[in-house]
């Protein structure tokens, strides 16, 4: 499989207006790549595009039309896309039963459906050209269960499974698939977890950006950040559950659930809550149909 040379390569990054995505954009631009930044905050994306002499534009990864429009605009501005980095993601934290359906749905839409849509949108052209690289930013929470992050973990487990499966399904396509699994990263997403995260391996956005650069240049498949966490991920599948549970209790794996500082996370929580879409309610005719069906069922039982 032919690797991608970063010098002159066109790289599209989702969620690139801030945090990890912006750090990746800066790192790859410095390596000579022509970077396209997509973000739901169009102003941040456009500013990053200007700063990096690339392209920046609006992107809501939950919308196929928006994704396709972003990729089309990227190709018009910079050329065919060599690398897509599915980075956009959110992380509410707290009790599973206290998490609203809206918060759960938004995580699934952004963290999972966004990655699926990105892959579907960019892969056909990569297959036609016989080359390309897709990097999905997962998390160590996609390998290790974290109480207090149940739905977030579920979404990242899904990204891990998707990446591994696409790698095998399209192994003869010329497309390289990589999943990057950071531990705690010092961004707004991890705000309010300073006490809860004591002792947890921590990385900076720049550390993740360097890992992404290495993944492209060295054609790596599974990358943990920090890198030394690789064996931890592998041991999950072979270590007896009672040993893992004892280790979890010793390390205090419920700290995110019990000690997260929700006040410190208030700004981030409010921002991601603004992304929630209203849950559709039953229309009058549907309600009537349901009521009629229930009535018929009750009548049959009476007979």
Residues 4-35: pLDDT tens digits? 899 999 999 999 999 999 999 999 999 999 99
Highest mean pLDDT among 41-55, 138-152, 248-262: 41-55
Question: How does DSSP classify residue 275?
Answer: T
24 against 242, higher pLDDT: 24
Catalytic center residues: 152
182 against 251, higher pLDDT: 182
Residues 158-214: pLDDT tens digits? 999 999 999 999 999 999 999 999 988 877 676 556 554 455 678 899 999 999 999
Residues 45-79: pLDDT tens digits? 999 999 999 999 999 999 999 999 999 999 999 99
Q: What pLDDT is attached to residue 238?
A: 62
* β-sheet with 34-39: strand ranges across: 55-58, 34-39, 10-14, 83-86, 132-137, 175-182, 222-225
Q: 3-class DSSP state for residue 264?
A: coil
**Bridge partner residues of 26 (DSSP):** none
Q: pTM of the predicted model, to two decimals?
A: 0.84
- Whether 22 contacts 48, CB under 8 Å: yes
Q: What pLDDT is attached to residue 203?
A: 87
Question: How does DSSP classify residue 225?
Answer: E
Which residues have CB under 8 Å from 109's CB, separation 6+? Answer: 62, 277
Burial 102-138 (b: 16+ CB within 10 A, else e): ebbbbbbbbbbbbbbbbbebbbeebeeeebbbbbbbb
Residues 289-299: pLDDT tens digits? 445 544 554 55
Domains and CATH numbers, the chain: 10-302 (3.40.50.720)
Angle at 224 between CA 55 and CA 211, to 5 degrees: 35
Q: What pLDDT is attached to residue 283?
A: 53
Q: What pLDDT is attached to residue 263?
A: 76
Q: What pLDDT is attached to residue 200?
A: 66
Share the mean pLDDT of the chain.
Answer: 85
């Amino acid at each position: 499989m032919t690797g991608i040379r970063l010098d002159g390569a066109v790289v599209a990054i989702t969620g690139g207006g801030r945090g990890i995505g912006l750090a990746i954009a800066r790192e790859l631009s410095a390596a000579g790549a022509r970077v396209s930044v997509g973000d739901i905050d169009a102003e941040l994306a456009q500013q990053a595009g200007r700063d990096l002499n690339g392209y920046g534009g609006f992107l809501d990864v939950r919308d196929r039309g928006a994704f396709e429009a972003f990729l089309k605009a990227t190709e018009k501005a910079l050329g065919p896309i060599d690398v897509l980095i599915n980075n956009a993601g959110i992380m509410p934290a707290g009790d599973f039963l206290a998490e609203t359906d809206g918060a759960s749905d938004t995580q699934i839409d952004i963290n999972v459906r966004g990655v699926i849509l990105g892959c579907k949108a960019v892969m056909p052209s990569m297959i036609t050209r016989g080359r390309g690289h897709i990097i999905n930013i997962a998390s160590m929470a996609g390998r290790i269960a974290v109480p207090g992050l149940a739905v977030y973990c579920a979404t990242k487990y899904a990204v891990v499974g998707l990446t591994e499966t696409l790698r095998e399904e399209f192994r003869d396509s010329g497309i390289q698939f990589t999943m990057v699994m950071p531990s705690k990263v010092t961004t707004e997403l991890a705000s309010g977890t300073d006490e809860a995260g004591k002792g947890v391996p921590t990385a900076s956005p720049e550390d993740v950006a360097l890992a992404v650069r290495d993944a492209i240049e060295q054609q790596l498949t599974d990358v943990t950040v920090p890198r030394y966490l690789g064996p931890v991920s592998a041991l999950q599948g072979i270590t007896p559950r009672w040993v893992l549970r004892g280790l979890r209790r010793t390390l205090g794996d419920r700290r995110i659930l019990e000690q997260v500082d929700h006040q410190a996370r208030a700004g981030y929580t409010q921002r991601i809550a603004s992304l929630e879409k209203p849950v559709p309610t039953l229309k009058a005719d549907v309600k009537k149909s349901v009521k009629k069906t229930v009535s018929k069922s009750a009548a049959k039982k009476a007979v």
